[in-house]
Amino acid sequence: MLVTPKNNIVIGIIIGLVVIASYNVDANPIDFVKGVPNLAIVVEEMLLVEPKYVPTAIWAMFETIQMAFIGTIIGFAIALPLSMLAARNLNSKFVYAPIRALLAAIRTFPSILWAILFVIMVGLGPFAGVLAIIMYTIGFVAKLQYEAIETIDSDPMDAVESIGVSKSQLIRYVVIPESSSHLLSQLLYMFDYNIRQTSILGLVGAGGIGFYIINYIKFFEYGKAAVFMLVVLVTVLIIDWVSVKIRDKYIIKSQHGMEVTTK
C-alpha cells in the first residue's frame, strides 16, 4: 500500500477504533502478562500425558469424523439447490431475496447454539451434533456458493440462454461446471472446519471427542485432556495433508488446465 496522507488518516482511524474497542471490552495487556504463569502451569500438567486413554480417544475421534462427514455431506446437498435460488444472476429478487433472508437467519446462530437446540429436541448424543453441523453447513456453504455463482462470466450463460435452453439445463451445463472448482474447495474446507467444530459441540452434550475434552478440563484433569487434544491435532494434520493433495490434483489442475505433480 502506498504511503499517502489519506492512507495515514485511514490507518490512524483504524488504530483509534481498535483502542476504543479494546477499552470497551476491558482488554488489559497487564492482566495478560500476569496470567502467563497460570498458562505455564496448565501446559506443564498437560505434558503429563496418560497413554492408556489413547484407544478411547481414537474411538471418540472416529465418532467425531463420522459426525462431521454426515453433517457436511447432507448440509452440502441441501445448500447447493438453495444457492442456485439465492443467486441474483439466476433469479428475480422475489426468489433470491427471501432465500437469502432464510440463509442469513440460519447463519445467525453458531453451530453450538444449534447443538443446544437439537439436544433439547432429540436428547444428548451425536445425533444432535450431526443436525447442528448440517444447519451450519447449509448457511455457510450456500452463501459461499451463490457468491461464486454470481462471479461466473455472463458470456457463456448468455450464449446458452440464446438458444432457448431451460434454467435447469443452464445450471447443469454452465453454472455447475463453471463453479465446480469452488464446490470442491468449499466441500473440503467445510469438512475440515466441521471436524474442529464437532470437537467443541461436546460442551453441550452433542457427542464427539469434545465431550471427553470438556469434561476432563472441567475437572482439571489436563493430562487426560491432552491425550484427546493430541488425537484431534494429528487428525486435523492428516486431513489438511489429504486436502492439499486433492486441491493440487483437481482444483489447481482445473484452474490452470494442467496437472500438478506433487511430491
pTM, full prediction: 0.76
Show the cell assigned to 88: 441474483
Q: Which residues contact 202 (CB under 8 A, 6 or more apart)?
A: 129, 208, 209, 210, 211, 212, 213, 214, 215
- Is residue 147 classed as helix, strand or coil in its secondary structure? helix
Q: What is the CA radius of gyration of the chain?
A: 23
Please give the pLDDT value at position 166. Answer: 67
What is the rounded CA–CA span in Å between residue 106 and residue 60? 28
Class of residue 196 by CB neighbours under 10 A (exposed 0-12, middle 13-18, buried 19+) = middle
b/e for 8-30, b at 16 or more Cβ within 10 A?
A: eeeeeeeeeeeeeeeeeeeeeee
Please give the pLDDT value at position 137. Answer: 92
Please give the pLDDT value at position 263. Answer: 45
- Is residue 33 classed as helix, strand or coil in its secondary structure? helix
b/e for 221-255, b at 16 or more Cβ within 10 A?
A: ebebbbbbbebbeebeeebeeebeeebeebbeeee
CA atoms within 13 A on the CB side of 78: 17
- Chunked into runs of 10 residues, the chain (263 residues) has average pLDDT values of 71 84 74 77 72 86 90 92 86 88 89 88 87 91 86 70 69 72 80 83 78 82 84 87 79 52 46
Show the cell assigned to 96: 433470491
Domains belonging to the chain, first-starting first, are 49-256 (1.10.3720.10)
